A = this chain, B = another copy of it.
Amino acid sequence: MRGEVQRGELRHDRPDDVPEEVPDEVFDALADPTRRRLLDEISSRGPISATHLAAGFPVTRQAVVKHLSALSTAGLLSSDRHGREVLYAVVPGRLQQATAWLDDVGRRWDDRLAALVEHLSPPPPA
């Protein structure tokens, strides 16, 4: 037996370009530990420049800038230019999109379990 017939076609009728209604870049941005620490710092210290942030991190300023760009692309940060420096700030509403998906999965699973319990345990004799 060679080659195992794997790689079937999808059963769901989602179009290929809309595989899920989930904020893709958001999770991607949150995946990196350094990016999460940056979000952490900014949320604590308030609007701050890349150079100032980099002073507190073990990586170069350029690396920090790339991470901030990723976070901005995901809509988690906003950047405003003040004079010669650029201050980054948190956009809190965007975080809810991530939690929404997590809650959805969790709730769906809870519903499954609840339905299962309901099905397995008939009402006690009165």
B-binding residues in A (CB < 8 A): 4, 6-12, 19-20, 22, 24, 27-28, 30-31, 33, 36-37, 39-40, 43-44, 46, 54-62, 90, 92, 95-96, 98-99, 101-103, 105-106, 108-110, 112-113
Q: In the complex, what distance in Å separates the CA atom of A113 from the CA atom of B95? A: 16
Q: Known contacts A10-B57, A33-B24: does B112 contact A43 (CB below 8 Å)? A: yes
| A61 close to B20 (CB less than 8 A) | no
**Total copies of the chain:** 2
**In the complex, which of the residues B19, B56, B99 contacts A33, with contact meaning CB atoms closer than 8 Å?**
B19
Q: Known contacts A31-B30, A105-B95: does B40 contact A6 (CB below 8 Å)? A: no
